[in-house]
Chain A
Amino acid sequence: MDATSNIKSAYAQLEGKSKNLSAFQEENWKTFSGIGIPALKHEEWKYIPIKNVFKASMNIAVEHDAFDQSALSNYILPGTEDANHIVFYNGRFQEHASKINEKDKLVVKSLEIAAGDEDAAFVETNLGNSQGYHPDGVNALNGAFAAGGAFIKIKKGAVISQPLIIYHFADSSNGFRFSQPRILVSVEDNAQVTIVETYVNHGGGESLTNEVIEICTGRDSITRYIKLQNEGNLSNHTGTTHVRQLERSNTHAVTITLDGAVVRNNLNMVMEDEHAESHMYGLYLLKGNTLADNHTIVDNRMPHCESNELYKGIMDDQSTGVFNGKIFVRKDAQKTNAYQSNKNILLGDQASANTKPQLEIFADDVKCSHGCTIGKLDEDALFYLRARGISEKNAKALLLHAFASDILGQIENEAIKNYIETLISDRLSLEA
């Protein structure tokens, strides 16, 4: 049995089980069956041998696997015990294991239910919006299994004081685990929230998580989003974070990739109304054979929107970092300000980086800039520090830490920032 027939038999078990999402699933399944998993010749996947990641031996969960609730406590990010927790297990939302403190402001339920209750209209207009930006089999395949997903709503004007942390567990103890979480988020007008996603592969085997999260940010809302990837080097990931921004909404995203096998992150900011603002930051600190590919899109459709983007990469050993940043400025999007920068440091002789800005501008009154660098650690700076008595190892760590610090500084939540800071310091083995 090859990967596709494995997926087919999983889909067959699931077919007809969903009441409210079956049409959506079927449509996506049709798309997936037509185009399959992208090959290297696919322009958007040319650095990622994604076909090889889909293994014939994949375990695909279609029924609700029971998640051992007590396992969560071992993985809570330090200092965030009081946060709102949402648990996914093998790609499926685990309502019983999730913990929502601010229930009057925050609704979390299964996507299947949301598609049939008072939120059905929102689901109808927003679910699947990312497909237009990623018309490939990977996105469609997630859609075909969407019924296991979750729906999150931050109510109008609500300020959520504790972050909303989404834990994605993949159980690989019985072999290669394939999970497909699906999340739809509504940040209603004037609401404020911090959403964190983090991933745990437990079981020590191989895994692939193919995720789609779609967020609609309402008028005057403020959304902070952090994606932290620090699974082992057997964990593969293909994920899309798609944000549809309404008038004057403000989105701030930080994507941190510290480990993994093949990792692909798509981040889309669609500026659908005037005066929307988005900030996109990324840090990929790679070692071993990790391949991390960040594809970002800012689509300016209306005037007076602003975006800032800074991604930084440090590649050691044989690792590879890929950055592709698209900025579209449509005909009507006058007075757009869009800035983009990508900086890479290669530590290992075998390490590599690919960076490609892609600006397509159809309006005339805009300010756009982009820049990218790929280099080694600054030799003059290294010598300066060593000449003051700092060992070569510590001097390198200091410089790399400094390089990473302006991305870390973007994380507002202190507990999460400190935690990531520790992970990075440990990695760079800075001795005080």
Chain B
Amino acid sequence: MLKIENLQARIEEKEILKGINLDIKPGEVHAIMGPNGSGKSTLASVLAGREDYEVTGGSVDFLGKDLLELSPEDRAKEGLFLAFQYPVEIPGVSTTNFMKTALNEKRKYQGLDPLDAAQFLKLMKEKMKLVQIDQALLSRSLNEGFSGGEKKRNEIFQMAMLEPKLAILDETDSGLDIDALRIVANGVNQLRSKDNAFLVVTHYQRLLEYIVPDYVHVLYKGRIVKSGTKELALELEERGYDFIKEEVDQAIA
């Protein structure tokens, strides 16, 4: 579904991604862990099409298309979704209003008729239940004055509405209380199917107890330096990143 080969990217003059390789197949869940500043959000942003980053090498194939050639909106319409680490506050635009625009633009792209008001409302209700989010929140200005947890839950709500083929969750678990964590994980699990895939960026093993990954990767200094199964996450939780950092830094030296 997603095949990343030797992806390199920089911002201003700073090299951040230094050759990422990753292959995600339908139905799989991949987790990416790694110390602060290692490039996890950068990878997510580059995949979503943020233009501040300059791709200096490598390729990304998404469902047979050259992802890097597509505009951010077309990537989304092709089925890519990014749950932001820091969701943006947009005064004057409600979640409901902008989701309707987003959903209908996607349907148009797919050659489908737009949803009318009643159909849209029905879909909303269904997805609201899934992530246990309140109507009042969705009518307010997008993320404005939302608590940290509400913002994250709103990201998952949007994911549920858009039903992406590949969802990248960038630290969606950060700032969530235990109940919210369970609700978010539940939302993700209900959307899991053999046809779609997840790339979950997290610092905590805790989330992976709820969303059980098929693979765990460690990103360090712009490279994936170690890959394994869910046991790797447990080992990291116990030992921290030092042992991996040492291995890598020695290899470079």
Contacts and interface: CB of A to CB of B under 8 A. Distances in A.
Nearest to A398: B93
Interface in B78-104: 82, 84, 87-88, 90-93, 97-99, 101-102, 104
Contacts of A395: 73
Contacts of B76: 386-389
B48 interface: yes
A388 B155 CA distance: 10
B90 A399 contact: yes
B222 interface: no
Interface stretch (A74-82, A143-151, A400-408): A400-408
B92 A402 contact: yes
Contact of B48 (A387, A390, A391): A387
A387 B98 CA distance: 12
A406 B141 CA distance: 12
B98 A390 contact: yes
Interface residues of A, number: 23
B92 A432 contact: no
Instruction: Summarize B's interface: helix, strand, loop or mixed.
Output: helix
A247 to B, nearest CB: 36
A343 to B, nearest CB: 11
A318 to B, nearest CB: 26
Contact of A383 (B50, B97, B162): B50
Contacts of A385: 90, 93, 98, 102
A381 B88 contact: yes
Interface in B83-138: 84, 87-88, 90-93, 97-99, 101-102, 104-106, 109, 114
Contacts of A406: 92
Interface in A382-432: 383-392, 394-395, 398-399, 401-403, 405-406, 432
Contact of A432 (B49, B101, B141, B162): B101
Contact of B87 (A378, A384, A389): A384
B92 A386 contact: no
A378 B109 CA distance: 26
Given A384-B84, A386-B73, A406-B92, A398 B49 contact: no
Contacts of B93: 385, 398-399, 402
Contact of B71 (A381, A388, A392): A392
Given A392-B71, A394-B105, A398-B101, A387 B82 contact: yes
B187 interface: no
Contacts of B158: 388
A390 B72 CA distance: 9
A386 B75 CA distance: 9
Contacts of B162: 388-389
Interface in A179-234: none
Given A398-B98, A432-B104, A387 B49 contact: yes
A395 B93 CA distance: 11
B90 A381 contact: yes
B30 interface: no
A402 B95 CA distance: 12
Interface in B211-245: none
B77 interface: yes
A383 B72 CA distance: 8
A7 B211 CA distance: 81
A38 B106 CA distance: 55
Contact of B106 (A378, A383, A384, A389): A389
A405 B105 contact: no
Nearest to A379: B52
A386 B90 CA distance: 13
B24 to A, nearest CB: 19
Pick from A386, A388, A389, A398 the residue with the most CB of B within 10 Å.
A389
Given A394-B105, A432-B101, A432-B104, A387 B92 contact: no
Contacts of A399: 90, 93
A283 to B, nearest CB: 13
A63 interface: no
A218 B87 CA distance: 50
A4 B158 CA distance: 64
A104 interface: no
Given A402-B90, A402-B93, A389 B48 contact: no
Nearest to A402: B92
Contacts of A381: 88, 90
Interface string B17-36: 00000000000000000000
Interface string A110-137: 0000000000000000000000000000
A68 interface: no
Nearest to A430: B101
Contacts of A390: 73, 98, 101-102, 105
Top 5 nearest A-B pairs by Cβ distance?
A402-B92, A389-B76, A386-B72, A388-B102, A384-B88
25 contacts: A381-B90, A384-B84, A384-B87, A384-B88, A385-B98, A385-B102, A386-B49, A386-B76, A387-B48, A387-B49, A387-B72, A387-B73, A387-B84, A388-B99, A388-B102, A388-B158, A389-B77, A389-B102, A390-B102, A390-B105, A391-B73, A398-B97, A398-B101, A402-B91, A432-B114
Interface of B: 48-51, 71-73, 75-77, 82, 84, 87-88, 90-93, 97-99, 101-102, 104-106, 109, 114, 141, 158, 162
Given A381-B90, A388-B158, 19 more contacts: A378-B88, A378-B90, A383-B50, A384-B90, A385-B90, A385-B98, A386-B71, A386-B76, A388-B98, A389-B76, A389-B105, A389-B162, A390-B102, A391-B105, A394-B101, A395-B73, A399-B90, A402-B141, A432-B114
